[in-house]
């Protein structure tokens, strides 16, 4: 049985103009992510891993190349189709949660439904159920400022699930959290994976790998082997030590 | 995005920034209130002016003077018209056939010929003397001229007169010394008054004739011409004029000095006046003055409204500024909205709606304050006018400001549209943000 891919990238290239020069964020990336996988993208800052995530999620446009998510060719979509895609096919989780500070948790979770026209009763039911699922059933009426960082990220995860998307994209989901709450977020993402979601996580945190079905290493906009990645990061560590020494 | 959700989110966003929304709306409130008060003031001035004109003469009356094919001024017509006047060769006289021509115009109720006394008179009551504008009207009742009596009757008959409300005030004692108290106006109703007519014969001798007439009616004050007038039947005045010049007056050859044409309603007055002008006569109607004054005040309203609109324009810049700041602050939020499925149109609608909402709220406040302010101004100005009038005399205006029913609606709509337009640039900017850049904005 041939493998089915949730995400396929072909010759994906993203170049940012920086004054007179150009910064190559992604350099001819070819990648396939299986449906139902838990993929971790590792790489140092500036390796292009976040860019990769946002391109897959349709929040940015590639300079060239093709992005296919399920059957949809993301780079060819017009604005409205893209909005629909972002609403129904992917769920985003951000490093800084991006919750609306003035809204209680349940309204934050149901926020995307304001753009999809769901009925009020459905919003309440769905947001309460999701908060229950992420372990915050008793915090529905609390505002983000009244919640811990880990709890806020759980609210954000519940929000990402509101339209039941098959693909979860997480950009450094544990980056703003202490190690304990970071770990529990990883466990939560793993649980989502077990319910059948395809999960793609961009992270620095190597602990994430223990939940992953596969890991991708990015260096300077290119996918590299684990060995290359290890050597490169070791070298840089060495350089750092010599500078300090 | 459904309309209900859109409105809900707009209200939510306005509500969570109450302070700033309120401050921005204050600008709109001032502008809208200025528009409402100033336009109300102009409308009030207009109503005052026209209502006082209504007093001078009712609007169904058309005064017709002889016409000149040369196009001379109508003032000449008054000077040379009348039974004794000399004819100009190409003058369109107001003859009895003219009357039947005018009566044939649709909407004409009645034509009442009028003539003035062509000689000097002295009005004597006891030891008091007075003067007045003697008018002869070819009608048996002054009610046909729209006049009403405060005392007695309005009917005109031989040997009787009806006087205007101020005529009694004109009485003076010719033998009074400087320090004597002023003469009390006598109550003339039912009293007989002597009229001393005088003319100069060809050899330079003054000839006098005294006629005694009974006052049968005193008219209500109209604040117009009738207040100082003494009304007689036309035949009486004609007889006096004939006595003055010594020959008979032939109306077919000399015409009347003036005709009062009574229209059936105000609506047809100007049409009738136009038709009479087309016949070659000079028709004047207060209606045309009223229309002229109305158009002047329309201009005044536009100017006053424009002054208020400038205040609104300044407020619009305030809204644009607030929205631009809001979009800067909420850049990440815009990114989030797009990430969770908001279309560009949704984002545009939300921010446009917020800008329009500020305009609407400010407009609502401005309309209420402007309305209240107009009402207060009315009270203050009227009491000021009243004190001025009591010192200097004159008429007390009935109102200082008047708010037309369309004005609050218009002002509210205008403020909303101004808000919407001010939000256009910031909202377009917000809608066109690249989601990933918005999300990463610090």
**Are residues A59 and A104 located together in one domain of the fold?**
no
Nearest-Cα distance to chain B for A159, in Å, is: 9
**Are residues A206 and A159 located together in one domain of the fold?**
no
Residue B346, chain A, CB below 8 Å: the answer is: yes
Q: Which of B5, B340, B344 sits opposite A117 (nearest CB)?
A: B5
Residue B380: CB atoms within 10 Å: 11
Contacts of B434 in chain A (CB under 8 A): 59-61
- In this structure, of A236-240, B189-193, B219-223, B387-391, the range with the lowest mean pLDDT score is A236-240
For the segment B180-194, the average pLDDT, to the nearest whole number, is 83
Q: What's residue A170's pLDDT?
A: 96
pLDDT tens per residue across span B324-380: 998 999 999 999 999 999 999 999 999 999 999 999 999 999 999 999 999 898 888
Residue B333, chain A, CB below 8 Å: the answer is: yes
CATH number of the domain that residue A28 is part of? 3.40.50.300
**Are residues A172 and A243 located together in one domain of the fold?**
yes
Contacts of A111 in chain B (CB under 8 A): 340
Token pair belonging to A198:
């395809």
Q: How many helices (H) and strands (E) does chain A have?
A: 7, 10
For the segment B200-212, the average pLDDT, to the nearest whole number, is 83
pLDDT tens per residue across span A166-198: 999 999 999 999 999 999 999 999 999 999 999
Residue of A nearest to B7 (CA): A114
pLDDT tens per residue across span A65-96: 999 999 899 988 999 999 999 999 999 999 99
Q: Which of B332, B342, B343 sits opposite A98 (nearest CB)?
A: B332
Contacts of A83 in chain B (CB under 8 A): 338, 341-344, 346
Is it the case that residue A225 has pLDDT exceeding 60? yes
A71: domain range? 1-89+166-176+190-245
Contacts of A143 in chain B (CB under 8 A): none
E strand map for A19-77: 21-34, 38-42, 64-69, 72-73
User: For chain B, what are the domain ranges?
Assistant: 3-55+292-440, 60-284
Distances (CA, A) of A130 to B217, B239, B341, B393: 94, 108, 19, 82
Q: What's residue B85's pLDDT?
A: 46
Kindly indicate the confidence band of residue B121, based on its pLDDT and cuts at 50, 70 and 90: confident
**Are residues A53 and A104 located together in one domain of the fold?**
no
**Are residues A14 and A65 located together in one domain of the fold?**
yes
Residue A84, chain B, CB below 8 Å: the answer is: yes
**Are residues A160 and A243 located together in one domain of the fold?**
no
For the segment B290-307, the average pLDDT, to the nearest whole number, is 83
> Are the C-beta atoms of B151 and B218 separated by less than 8 Å?
yes
Is it the case that residue A42 has pLDDT exceeding 60? yes
**Are residues A152 and A195 located together in one domain of the fold?**
no
Nearest-Cα distance to chain A for B440, in Å, is: 10
Q: What's residue B46's pLDDT?
A: 80
Q: What is the DSSP letter of B94?
A: B
Contact A79 B344 (CB under 8 A): yes
Contact A60 B344 (CB under 8 A): no
Contacts of B326 in chain A (CB under 8 A): none
Dist. CA B272–CA A86, nearest whole Å = 74
**Are residues A8 and A79 located together in one domain of the fold?**
yes
Q: What's residue A123's pLDDT?
A: 94
> Does residue A239 lie in a domain region?
yes
**Are residues A68 and A171 located together in one domain of the fold?**
yes
E strand map for B317-427: none
Is it the case that residue A241 has pLDDT exceeding 80? no
Domain count of the fold of chain A:
2
Residue B11, chain A, CB below 8 Å: the answer is: no
Residue B341, chain A, CB below 8 Å: the answer is: yes
Residue B342, chain A, CB below 8 Å: the answer is: yes
**Are residues A83 and A4 located together in one domain of the fold?**
yes
> Does residue A185 lie in a domain region?
no
**Are residues A1 and A45 located together in one domain of the fold?**
yes
pLDDT tens per residue across span A90-147: 999 999 999 999 999 999 999 999 999 889 999 999 999 999 999 999 999 999 999 9
């Amino acid at each position: 049985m041939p493998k089915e891919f949730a995400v396929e990238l072909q010759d994906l290239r993203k170049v940012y103009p920086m004054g007179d020069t150009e910064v190559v964020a992604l350099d001819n990336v070819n990648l396939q992510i299986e449906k139902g996988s838990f993929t971790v993208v590792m790489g140092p800052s500036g390796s292009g891993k976040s860019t990769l995530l946002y391109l897959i999620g349709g929040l940015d446009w590639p300079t060239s190349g093709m992005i296919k998510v399920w059957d949809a060719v993301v780079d060819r979509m017009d604005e409205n189709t893209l909005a629909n895609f972002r609403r129904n096919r992917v769920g985003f989780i951000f490093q800084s949660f991006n919750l609306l500070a003035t809204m209680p948790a349940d309204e934050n979770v149901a926020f995307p439904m304001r753009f999809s026209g769901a009925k009020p009763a459905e919003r309440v039911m769905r947001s309460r159920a999701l908060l229950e699922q992420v372990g915050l059933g008793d915090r529905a009426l609390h505002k983000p400022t009244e919640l811990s960082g880990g709890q806020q990220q759980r609210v954000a995860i519940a929000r990402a699930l509101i339209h039941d998307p098959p693909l979860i994209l997480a950009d450094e989901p544990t980056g703003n959290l202490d190690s304990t709450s970071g770990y529990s977020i990883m466990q939560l993402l793993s649980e989502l994976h077990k319910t059948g979601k395809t999960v793609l996580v961009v992270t620095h945190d190597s602990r994430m790998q223990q939940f992953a079905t596969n890991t991708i290493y990015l260096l300077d906009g290119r996918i590299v082997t684990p060995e290359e990645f290890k050597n490169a990061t070791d070298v840089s560590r060495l350089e750092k030590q010599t500078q300090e020494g | 995005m459904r309309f209900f959700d859109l409105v809900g989110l707009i209200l939510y966003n306005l509500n969570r920034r109450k302070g700033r929304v309120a401050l921005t709306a204050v600008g709109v409130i001032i502008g809208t209130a200025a528009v409402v008060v100033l336009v109300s003031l102009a409308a009030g001035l207009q109503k005052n002016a026209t209502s006082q004109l209504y007093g001078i003469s009712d609007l169904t009356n058309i005064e017709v003077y002889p016409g000149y094919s040369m196009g001379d001024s109508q003032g000449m017509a008054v000077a040379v018209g009348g039974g004794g006047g000399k004819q100009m060769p190409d003058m369109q006289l107001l003859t009895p056939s003219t009357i039947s021509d005018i009566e044939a115009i649709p909407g004409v109720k009645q034509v009442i010929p009028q003539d003035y006394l062509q000689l000097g008179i002295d009005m004597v009551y006891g030891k008091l003397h007075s003067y007045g504008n003697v008018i002869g009207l070819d009608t048996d009742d002054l009610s046909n001229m729209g006049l009403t009596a405060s005392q007695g009757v309005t009917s005109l008959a031989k040997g009787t007169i009806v006087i205007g409300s101020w005529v009694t005030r004109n009485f003076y004692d010719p033998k009074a010394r400087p320090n004597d108290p002023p003469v009390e106006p006598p109550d003339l109703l039912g009293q007989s008054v002597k009229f001393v007519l005088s003319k100069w014969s060809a050899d330079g001798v003054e000839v006098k004739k005294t006629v005694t007439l009974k006052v049968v009616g005193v008219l209500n004050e109209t604040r117009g011409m009738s207040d100082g007038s003494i009304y007689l039947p036309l035949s009486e005045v004609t007889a006096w004029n004939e006595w003055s010049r010594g020959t008979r007056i032939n109306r077919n050859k000399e015409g009347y000095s003036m005709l009062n044409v009574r229209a059936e309603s105000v609506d047809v007055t100007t049409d009738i006046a136009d038709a009479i002008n087309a016949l070659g006569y000079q028709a004047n109607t207060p209606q045309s003055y009223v229309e002229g004054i109305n158009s002047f005040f329309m201009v005044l309203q536009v100017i006053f409204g424009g002054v208020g609109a400038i205040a609104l324009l300044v407020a619009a810049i305030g809204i644009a500024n607030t929205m631009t700041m809001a979009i800067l602050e909420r850049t990440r939020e815009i990114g989030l909205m797009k990430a969770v499925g908001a279309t560009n149109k949704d984002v545009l609608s939300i921010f446009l709606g917020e800008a329009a909402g500020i305009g609407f709220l400010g407009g609502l406040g401005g309309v209420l304050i402007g309305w209240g302010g107009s009402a207060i101004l009315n009270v203050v100005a009227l009491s000021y006018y009243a004190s001025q009038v009591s010192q200097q005399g004159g008429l007390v205006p009935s109102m200082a400001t008047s708010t037309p029913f369309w004005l609050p609606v218009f002002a509210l709509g205008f403020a909303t549209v101004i808000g919407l337009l001010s939000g256009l640039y910031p909202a377009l900017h917000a809608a066109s943000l690249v989601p990933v850049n918005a999300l990463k904005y610090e």
